[in-house]
Chain A
């Protein structure tokens, strides 16, 4: 672990906890609210979440237990100035991701221009060759992106991961805020917090805007793999909030390259499907043949331009970890300017020199599978056992192209309620970026994930991470409040 204490977003870097002046009021709230009271409120919030059924399944455990994600009562705050800067970077990045997808499934100019190695795209299983040449309605591929950001200092934000397939977690942004408004109303009197409850409407507007048929009122649905899926709560929550149907594969059928929803009143034509099923399982005719989750003919309907899939199939090529390391070049290529949000330095183990460096420095690095997610298949060098390091060494030597490595960042901390009182814990942040026919929308908020174990840098819920509310303040660039 880095010897120096990590930057704390409220208390600053100093050990005397003098803190950052813009957060003095929050620091004071933390100090003045007794820990027992914070604990009581936190338990009340968690009880409510359990009641609502906001649970998730942990994969890879003996019994796939349904759990709630721990909630932390101490919120995280971004100033208006910080948010404005982040938003700019996010818009630039997501616009570049969509331009990149349109290009690799279209003309492939970026390969012709030699900006990135052609085999990285063409040799990547995430590149769906059979969809090459298909342009989705309105030309948008990644309608919903969850960009994972980490922070190492007052003005130092980094993109850790681009989630351009079916990012989840937005229900926590909304439910955490509900809980905070109810349990800590005084905070919302102290701070001019921008609301997040416009997200369902913004999402609905985004879905409606990308309809393939502009002549009629678009019918949008959410397609879920079913209630065994770890994010099922979110699927049903969003359908409920937006006021659209939640459907499973058996509720849809494709006829004449058109998608229909079966209802008791007959068939209804579907225009836009917000699908929370991975590409591999979405259509057994084209992808995994034994998938029961998919809708036969869905890809044909998509290729014929008769339905919009949100996100489009094939977007996995944009958030592949092997592509990630080229994102600064990709952003520059399509936006014409330097990336406003930097990447974390990344060693591509497919390159012999990088591999040598990684093998020599495993104890200091974080090693990730290029096609892994959710904190699975990951080595955090500084906290790993000797055995784990040796296992990864063997795996890296056997299949180096499957891995990337990054330096262990001193992730920022935020005061968090622990058994020993309020103490700093490492966090990351996932804002949700919507891209529709009328441009990019970002609701001022996101999902803050917190590593509840002291010193831990792994924030994934599957690895024991929790969540916090993320308050974006309505102050202008100069710090003046609205």
Chain B
């Protein structure tokens, strides 16, 4: 499948900012089943961009903008050829051993409730692969998707006890539960083509990957209850959202900021235009 992506991020500041420094993780890599045909990042003001690669293997872009600045928009346009590999991640850059992804972080710490839940799944499943499928299904059933509650600092514990969240929260709980039963798991940010007709999405997508003996890394999307296929574009990975977030920003100046994100993923270029 050839997917076209248009990802717009716009900040508006109530007071002009002296400077803006942002760390972007917006660029996917090519690997088996994901072939990046073209990809570009555009900024609508005078900015300096520097690319690099972090310890997880993610391609990073540093964005530096001099002020005064009261708004900025960052646009990503690209197209990617995808194939359905039933969630199997092969040929992607792997810089760190799976064991690293057993490390819990503030956002992915499991409490008693998550551990009990994960142990229940462990008892039910036959092997690691089976258990991860069960975990994905059980979380999909247990957690309600609630786009009104988007909060980048929400922990897996909070999401699990409140039983609702957005894709990022589903991914954090999945990762916390998988690690709780000894399966390395990581957070993935990326894009998803919705074939239900909803063209404009309010944010980039997120899911999880688990490391399964004999298979390697396999992707699981608990918010949609299926393993990522050719409708997905994988962009960045990490222990949690903080490591893989599309944007981490910092600004020098007062006031408040307003953030607008719009993502269109379509099958043709025209579908993704504003």
Task: Find chain A residues with CB under 8 A from B252 CB.
Answer: 253
Q: How far is the CA of A13 from the CA of B111 in the complex (A)?
A: 53
Q: How far is the CA of A300 from the CA of B250 in the complex (A)?
A: 13
* Chain A proximity of B75: nearest CB distance (Å): 21
B residues contacting A by CB (< 8 A) are: 19, 21-23, 48, 50, 52-56, 60, 62, 64, 95-97, 99-100, 102-103, 105, 238-239, 242-243, 248-250, 252
Q: How far is the CA of A108 from the CA of B95 in the complex (A)?
A: 11
* Chain A proximity of B56: nearest CB distance (Å): 6
Which of B22, B23, B96, B239 has a CB less than 8 Å from the CB of A132? B96
Binds B, one of A72-80, A116-124, A374-382: A116-124
Task: Find chain B residues with CB under 8 A from A373 CB.
Answer: none
- The answer to whether A122 and B48 touch (CB under 8 A), given A256-B64, A289-B242, is no
Which of B53, B54, B64, B238 has a CB less than 8 Å from the CB of A297? B64
Which of A111, A122, A289 has a CB less than 8 Å from the CB of B102? A122
Q: Are B55 and A123 in contact (CB under 8 A)?
A: no
Which of A111, A124, A133, A255 has a CB less than 8 Å from the CB of B95? A133
Task: Find chain A residues with CB under 8 A from B103 CB.
Answer: 122-125, 127, 129
Not counting A111-B97, A123-B100, A285-B22, a sample of 18 additional A-B residue pairs whose C-beta atoms are within 8 angstroms of each other reads A118-B99, A119-B99, A119-B102, A123-B102, A130-B55, A132-B55, A133-B53, A253-B19, A254-B64, A255-B48, A284-B250, A285-B249, A285-B250, A286-B248, A289-B242, A297-B23, A300-B23, A300-B50
Question: What total count of A-B pairs have CB within 8 Å?
Answer: 83
- The answer to whether A130 and B64 touch (CB under 8 A), given A122-B97, A255-B48, A285-B248, is no
Task: Find chain B residues with CB under 8 A from A111 CB.
Answer: 97
Q: Is A304 an interface residue (CB 8 A)?
A: yes
Q: Are B55 and A128 in contact (CB under 8 A)?
A: yes
Q: Are A285 and B23 in contact (CB under 8 A)?
A: yes
CB nearest to B58 among chain A residues: A130
- The answer to whether A122 and B100 touch (CB under 8 A), given A255-B64, A297-B21, is yes
Among B19, B96, B250, max chain A CB count under 10 A is at B250
Can you name 5 A-B residue pairings with CB atoms under 8 Å?
A132-B96, A133-B95, A284-B250, A297-B64, A300-B50
Q: Are B21 and A304 in contact (CB under 8 A)?
A: no
Q: Is A134 an interface residue (CB 8 A)?
A: yes
Task: Find chain A residues with CB under 8 A from B97 CB.
Answer: 108, 111, 118, 122
- The answer to whether A296 and B55 touch (CB under 8 A), given A118-B99, A129-B239, A255-B48, is no
Among A123, A124, A285, max chain B CB count under 10 A is at A285
- The answer to whether A130 and B54 touch (CB under 8 A), given A119-B102, A122-B103, A123-B102, is yes
Q: Are B23 and A122 in contact (CB under 8 A)?
A: no
Q: How many positions in chain A have a CB within 8 Å of any CB in the partner chain?
A: 30
Q: How far is the CA of A133 from the CA of B53 in the complex (A)?
A: 9
Q: How far is the CA of A286 from the CA of B102 in the complex (A)?
A: 20
Q: How far is the CA of A129 from the CA of B242 in the complex (A)?
A: 12
* Chain A proximity of B99: nearest CB distance (Å): 5
Q: Are A256 and B48 in contact (CB under 8 A)?
A: yes
Q: Which 5 A-B pairs have the closest CB atoms?
A: A132-B55, A296-B250, A296-B21, A130-B55, A122-B100
- Beta-carbon contacts of A169-203 to B below 8 Å, as 1s and 0s? 00000000000000000000000000000000000
Q: How far is the CA of A256 from the CA of B63 in the complex (A)?
A: 8
Q: Are A256 and B55 in contact (CB under 8 A)?
A: no
Q: How far is the CA of A134 from the CA of B57 in the complex (A)?
A: 11
Q: How far is the CA of A119 from the CA of B56 in the complex (A)?
A: 17
- The answer to whether A289 and B55 touch (CB under 8 A), given A122-B102, A254-B64, A300-B60, is no
- Beta-carbon contacts of A265-297 to B below 8 Å, as 1s and 0s? 000000000000000000011100100000011
Task: Find chain A residues with CB under 8 A from B52 CB.
Answer: 257, 300, 303-304
Q: Is A84 an interface residue (CB 8 A)?
A: no
Q: Is A131 an interface residue (CB 8 A)?
A: yes
Task: Find chain B residues with CB under 8 A from A127 CB.
Answer: 100, 103
- Beta-carbon contacts of A298-327 to B below 8 Å, as 1s and 0s? 001001100000000000000000000000
Task: Find chain A residues with CB under 8 A from B243 CB.
Answer: 129-130
- Beta-carbon contacts of A233-276 to B below 8 Å, as 1s and 0s? 00000000000000000000111110000000000000000000
- The answer to whether A133 and B50 touch (CB under 8 A), given A253-B19, A289-B242, is no
Q: How far is the CA of A286 from the CA of B56 in the complex (A)?
A: 13
* Chain A proximity of B188: nearest CB distance (Å): 15
Q: Are A257 and B50 in contact (CB under 8 A)?
A: yes
CB nearest to A290 among chain B residues: B153
* Chain B proximity of A118: nearest CB distance (Å): 5
- The answer to whether A300 and B96 touch (CB under 8 A), given A129-B56, A254-B21, A256-B50, is no
* Chain B proximity of A253: nearest CB distance (Å): 7
